[in-house]
Amino acid sequence: MPDLTPDEILRYSRHLLIPEVGLEGQRRLKAASVLVIGAGGLGSPASLYLAAAGVGRIGLVDFDVVDASNLQRQIVHGTSTLGDRKVASARKRLLDLNPAIEVEAYDEAFTSLNAMRIAYGYQVIVDASDNFPTRYLSNDLCVLTGKPNVFGAIFRFDGQASVFDASRGPCYRCLFPEPPPPGLVPTCAEGGVFGVLPGVIGAIQATETLKLLLGIGETLIGRLLLYNALDMTFETVKLKKNPHCKACGISPEITALIDYAEFCGVPSVEHPYEQEHTGQEIDPLELAERLRSSSPPKVIDVREPHELEISRIEGAVNIPLGQLAARLSELDSAQESVVLCRSGSRSARALDLLASAGFRRVKNLRGGINAWAREVDPSLRLY
Amino acid sequence: MPVIKMPSPFRSYTQDLLEVPVQGRTVAEAMNSLVVQYPTLLPHLYNSQGSLRPFVNLFLGEENIQSLQGVDTPLGEGDVLRLVPSVAGG
């Protein structure tokens, strides 16, 4: 293991004082490598604390750029890096926090085509992703390569954390054999997230990662931590290995990485959802023209009622996506309709739901009400 | 009366209730009581064959009901059944 320099001994002095870490543990961290999948809400605190703790080599994977709406929770980024690639922004911040470490930036989507290459050489994988395909990919990769998968997931005020290590306990698929059908569980982009929530869960992921690297304490292997920020409760439930698990069971079916977008029934990064609905979309300017005509379409806003306080199109009927299936009787399947949400994702699902219920004359407002605000009504606020 | 503790993603279907009091002496009866009270939850929890969806887990105390007697697991007064769906946000 590498020795610590005098500067490092000073930097890590509070660690060196703890018998469970000490000089040997700190050298162990310096020799360690961790891959963090996602430089967003969870990846921000997780990577910051891993860098501060002196993990010698940290890999960051993300294909996105820093957006103003990220900064409410993605604290590794800043106003000065708006528009920058997320991995470049995060790398800059981590190296500012600790120049003694190495940070490898992978500015690409994490897919079954590159996952083995990127993860090669890292000891621990931190799943700080924000979508089901990447979570199943991260799990299967870890099962196949024998690496621990430090899991964290969030929604609104709820957080989940665990350590999945198939050699010592259950994997993610033992708990969740299949993802929810698309649209059944809202994403943070659709349902929102309390900004500090990923701070708590991401810090727990960093904690568990450091314990794994140091070989100390009781990790969350075989346990799922459930945190609720509103109730301020931390509870754990027991997880057991599923002998029939397709990834880590007695007769595993998954012996190589698969197409996770297809498995989860969602569009891939290369083929986003909206592109699948070409021909079923209407541009904001075209909708504005149609609304001025003698036979305007019915506009159905599938956002949550409180979002209408931010922006709304006059005359639109509000039926939140979650209530749409139960309220179809309020709509006329023969009438020409346009569905809208904030950015076009939820309304694309609404369009699918309406189409499967026999509505043939429905279109999705491309880009949602934010596009409407940019192209038709600049008095509306973007969010 | 047992209660079912609702996770954030499903609270919008239970009028934002954190815990829903239910009737029933087994997990199956309690879940039936839940969806009778809040029918819009039904497609989120059960597939078209009437099976609990694989992304939803039920825990009684610390134990997954699959480790107990499944949906036939008996429930007593004051028991708390916890719904744990998979969430992907990050």
Q: For residues A56 and A95, what is the distance between their CA atoms, to the nearest angstrom? A: 11
Cβ distance B59 to A236 less than 8 Å, yes or no, reads no
- pLDDT at A222 > cutoff 70: yes
% of chain A with per-residue pLDDT over 90: 88
Out of A194-198, A267-271, A280-284, least confident range:
A267-271
Residues in chain A, overall count: 383
Q: For residues A275 and A136, what is the distance between their CA atoms, to the nearest angstrom? A: 24
A138-161 pLDDT, tens digit each: 999 999 999 999 999 999 999 999
Cβ distance A326 to B39 less than 8 Å, yes or no, reads yes
**C-alpha distance from residue A252 to each of A18, A135, A166, A242, A245 (Å):** 42, 18, 12, 11, 7
Q: How confident is the prediction for chain B on average, in pLDDT? A: 94
Closest CA of chain B from A7, distance in Å: 34
A273-315 pLDDT, tens digit each: 444 555 699 999 999 999 999 999 999 999 999 999 999 999 9
% of chain A with per-residue pLDDT over 70: 96
Q: Collapse the DSSP code of A114 into the 3-class scheme (helix H, G, I; strand E, B; otherwise coil) and give the result.
A: coil
pLDDT for the residue A277: 55
Q: For residues A186 and A321, what is the distance between their CA atoms, to the nearest angstrom? A: 10
Q: Six-digit token pair at B9? A: 């993603």
Cβ distance B40 to A226 less than 8 Å, yes or no, reads no
pLDDT for the residue A345: 86
Q: For residues A339 and A322, what is the distance between their CA atoms, to the nearest angstrom? A: 14
**C-alpha distance from residue A196 to each of A59, A127, A318, A346 (Å):** 24, 18, 30, 25
Chain A positions in Cβ-Cβ contact with residue B51 (cut-off 8 Å):
none
Closest CA of chain A from B29, distance in Å: 22
Cβ distance B9 to A188 less than 8 Å, yes or no, reads no
Set A174, A188, A245, A248: catalytic member? A188
Out of A93-107, A182-196, A212-226, B6-20, least confident range:
A182-196
Interface test with A, best of B3, B6, B8 (most A CBs within 10 A): B8
How confident is the model over A232-256, as a mean pLDDT?
Answer: 96
Higher pLDDT, A79 or B14: A79
B88 closest CB neighbour out of A131, A320, A326? A131
DSSP-assigned states of every residue in A246-288: TTTSSS-S--S---HHHHHT---SSS-GGGGGTTSEE-HHHHH
A129 closest CB neighbour out of B54, B62, B90? B90
Return the closest-CA partner of residue A110 out of A91, A86, A89.
Answer: A86
- What chain B residue is nearest to A135 in terms of C-alpha separation? B88
Chain A positions in Cβ-Cβ contact with residue B54 (cut-off 8 Å):
176-178
pLDDT for the residue B40: 85
pLDDT for the residue A274: 46
CB A313 within 8 A of CB A369: yes
Chain B positions in Cβ-Cβ contact with residue A154 (cut-off 8 Å):
87, 89-90
Place of tokens 């990846």: A43
pLDDT for the residue A69: 94
Q: How confident is the prediction for chain A on average, in pLDDT? A: 94
Chain A positions in Cβ-Cβ contact with residue B85 (cut-off 8 Å):
180, 185
A240 closest CB neighbour out of B8, B18, B64? B64
B61-81 pLDDT, tens digit each: 999 999 999 999 999 999 999
B89 closest CB neighbour out of A130, A230, A237? A130
pLDDT for the residue A273: 47
pLDDT band at A39 (very low <50, low <70, confident <90, very high): very high
pLDDT band at A250 (very low <50, low <70, confident <90, very high): very high
Which segments of chain B have a pLDDT < 50? none
Helices marked H in chain A: 6-11, 13-16, 22-30, 43-53, 86-97, 115-119, 132-145, 172-175, 188-191, 197-214, 260-264, 284-292, 321-324, 345-356, 368-375
CB B87 within 8 A of CB A154: yes
Cβ distance B57 to A175 less than 8 Å, yes or no, reads yes
B89 closest CB neighbour out of A155, A178, A238? A155
Chain B positions in Cβ-Cβ contact with residue A157 (cut-off 8 Å):
8
Does the annotation mark A341 as catalytic?
A: yes
Residue B20 region by backbone torsions, left for phi larger than 0, else alpha for psi between -120 and 50, else beta: beta
ipTM of the complex model:
0.95
| Cβ within 8 Å of residue A180, ≥6 positions away | A132, B53, B55, B85, B86
CB A363 within 8 A of CB A338: yes
Cβ distance B85 to A180 less than 8 Å, yes or no, reads yes
Q: For residues A101 and A135, what is the distance between their CA atoms, to the nearest angstrom? A: 27
Cβ distance A188 to B43 less than 8 Å, yes or no, reads no
Half-sphere exposure of residue A352: CA atoms within 13 angstroms, side-chain side: 16
Phi and psi, residue A35, nearest 5°: -105, 125
CB A348 within 8 A of CB A266: no
CB A340 within 8 A of CB A307: no
pTM for the full model? 0.87
pLDDT for the residue A295: 93
Residues in chain B, overall count: 90
